[in-house]
Structure 1
Amino acid sequence: MNNFVLITIGVTLLSCVFVVMGVHTYSAGRAQQAALVRRLSSAGELGHAGRQRRFRRVDRRLRRTKLGRRIELKLGATGLDFTPGEFFVYTLAGIVGVWAIAASLLASFFGPVAALIALWGANAFLNWQRAKRTEKFINQLPDLTRILANATQAGLALRTAISMAAEELEAPAGEELGRVANRLAVGHSIDDALSELSERLPSRELVVLVTTLVLSSRAGGAIVGSLRNLTVTLEQRKETRREVKTQLSQVTVTAYAIPVIGIGSLLMLDAIMPGALDRMTGAFIGQTAVIVAIGLYTVGFALIRRMSKIDV
């Protein structure tokens, strides 16, 4: 009987010890989680060089919507130091400002038209920044493949080679490879990390590089020889793209000059005959003519840009 009492007391004391240890571990985990949340929140509210984020409430609400997620993905590919909330507010303010300026300088009819053009321009600006960043990244691909080839030839693993390339290369290649290295460090596979990179900066050259690295990581093989051959090919494509861009520069300028000429003609007409735009857009036939003219200018701009776009 005495042994049973002693065993019961011992088990009870041991259970109490485990309970205390569990409560301590749970409290420490909660404290670490709270510290991590605070650190991530402060990182999200601060931009590059410690810039304080604006419109945090708008940003938090916007990120929950489909529009906010789309803006966040586009901003992530452009490398701009803006949150979705900041970009949304600035775009909205720009639309209102353009509406007021167009309505005061031209006519009240041109206010909504200018607002729609400003909305399209905001999206076009993100696409242009994304294309510009992708172009810079493509120009850095020969150096990237050369670094990866040298690192793998020296016996380093592919993950280590990517981290080394992220430290040596400048932006945007260094920043994008840094994201890939961070993904790999937290347990993501090479396939997923490189696939996300190719989705952010879509290009044929990057797809070829990603495919080469993924296949080499899966099946092995002569990755050094493949990377060196790819380096030579990328250098040749880089020179070809530069020559094509130079040859088509005049066509590109023409595409942007056509809409500018149309807007300039409207301003000239209103300056020569004050109030002419108000009288013209005051009738239904005048409004229809303006809308048709804007549509024709848009079609002309799109056709010229499409004809000057040559995939190399």
Structure 2
Amino acid sequence: MIRVLIAVLTAIVAFSLFSALVIVRKRQEDRLKKRLTTFSNVSAKRPETEQPRGLRGAPTGRPRKPQKETLQERFFRFVKKHSQRLPRAKLQEKLNVLMEQADWPLLGRDFEVIALLLGAFAALVTMLLTMTPSYAALAFPGGIGLAWFYLRFSIQRRQKAFMNQLGGMLEMSANALRAGFSFIQAFELIAREMDAPIGRESEKVLREINLGSTMETALTHMQERVQSPDFELVVTAVLIQRQVGGNLADILDTISETIQERVRMRGEVMALTAQGRMTGIVLAALPFALGGFLYTASPGYLDPLFEDPRGHIAIAGAIVMIIIGFVVIRKIVDIKA
């Protein structure tokens, strides 16, 4: 039992390291973006002919010393280098979409390399701690599974934040249209004034339009990234209005009221189903907590369960039933509002 707990804790530690690396990488990208924004707003320097005579040809400053690479930069350079060696597959295209949905500064093949490294690290540490190849073999897919779980969790968290901001985005767009702005200028206002994820998604839409894409294509790509049924309604309304005409500001106001009412209803549903969701979590964790307590209080009490082949069958059956019960409870309390 203690070896299984060590393997689980090792996988959790490896998962935490992977999460920290992704967060650090995202913060580095945000700092770089702020620097580019700051310098892009600075007025251009005067040409050499307009500089004072005493300063012509003079060095503008001391040459900067090359900065040393940090551990994170070395790690991601290693990931980029080895990810290019991976064979192309359809899974990478799906992972590229998931990276965009999670807003991670990675490619699909980069995530594959990181997940494999995470699994290998979990397997290596488990092998060193337990000296049991079977536990190490279980830790390898466990590390990959934790990476995948964190990716899905990041996507769901971002989608939830997007839905909470969507009502404010529509109100700002409607007010901007009434003030005489065009729809693209309204998106520029949203990208400048609103926080992520809507602010970043608006920037991507504007970037696509500046590169030659149509409004319809840019909005469709945005819908593919956010995967929001509410925003899909907005995209459909905007595309119809651009074809047949109408007052877009009034349309956005109506959609905004509908979305805000749906968000309020979702909150009520989440509050009413909180007890059921917590029940599923407690029932899934209770057998493991009770097993750990019994093993600590009486170490030899559970030995037949791990040494006898019938005990192995009982453990496997119990785990399967726990998973089935947890999934069933989640399906019951998962009410689409």
- TM (normalized to structure 2)? 0.69
Mind listing any 5+ residue stretches in structure 2 that lack a counterpart?
A: 1-24, 33-71
* SS of residue paired to 2:84: helix
- Conservation of the 8 A alpha-carbon contact between 2:96 and 2:108: yes
- Conservation of the 8 A alpha-carbon contact between 2:126 and 2:135: no
- Conservation of the 8 A alpha-carbon contact between 2:83 and 2:113: no
Does 1:48 pair with 2:30? yes
- Conservation of the 8 A alpha-carbon contact between 2:165 and 2:198: yes
Which residue of the other structure, out of 58, 63, 66, is the alignment partner of 2:90?
66
Which residue of the other structure, out of 179, 195, 209, is the alignment partner of 2:204?
179
How far off is 1:271 after superposition?
2.7
How far off is 1:183 after superposition?
1.0
Q: Distance in 1 between matches of 2:287 and 2:120?
A: 22
Residue equivalent to 1:79: 103
Q: Distance in 2 between matches of 1:171 and 1:239?
A: 21
- Cα gap change, 1:89/1:261 in structure 2, threshold over 3 Å: closer, same or farther? farther
Per-residue CA deviations over 1:181-201 (Å, capped at 9, x if unaligned) read: 111111112222111211222
Q: Distance in 2 between matches of 1:200 and 1:301?
A: 29
- Conservation of the 8 A alpha-carbon contact between 1:103 and 1:110: no
How far off is 1:299 after superposition?
0.9
Mind listing any 5+ residue stretches in structure 1 that lack a counterpart?
A: 1-42
| Higher-helix-fraction structure | 1
Which residue of the other structure, out of 243, 251, 255, is the alignment partner of 2:280?
255
1:272-283 matches, within 5 Å, as 272-274=297-299, 280-283=305-308
* SS of residue paired to 1:61: coil
Task: State which structure, 1 or 2, has the greater radius of gyration over its C-alpha atoms.
Answer: 1
How far off is 1:238 after superposition?
1.9
How far off is 1:311 after superposition?
1.0
- Cα gap change, 1:280/1:301 in structure 2, threshold over 3 Å: closer, same or farther? same
Give the fraction of aligned pairs with identical amino acids, expressed as a percent: 23
- Conservation of the 8 A alpha-carbon contact between 1:75 and 1:82: yes
Residue equivalent to 1:295: 320
Comparing 178-187 and 76-85, the one that deviates more: 76-85
Q: Distance in 1 between matches of 2:215 and 2:81?
A: 35
Q: Which amino acid aligns with 1:206?
A: F
Q: Hey, which bits of structure 1, 4+ residues long, moved more than 6 A?
A: 275-278
- Conservation of the 8 A alpha-carbon contact between 1:256 and 1:301: yes
- Cα gap change, 1:189/1:283 in structure 2, threshold over 3 Å: closer, same or farther? farther
Which residue of the other structure, out of 238, 243, 248, is the alignment partner of 1:218?
243
Per-residue CA deviations over 1:194-235 (Å, capped at 9, x if unaligned) read: 112112222221111111111112222121111111122222
Q: Distance in 2 between matches of 1:86 and 1:244?
A: 38
Q: Higher relative contact order by CA 8 Å / sep ≥ 6: 1 or 2?
A: 2
- Cα gap change, 1:251/1:121 in structure 2, threshold over 3 Å: closer, same or farther? farther
- Cα gap change, 1:161/1:233 in structure 2, threshold over 3 Å: closer, same or farther? same
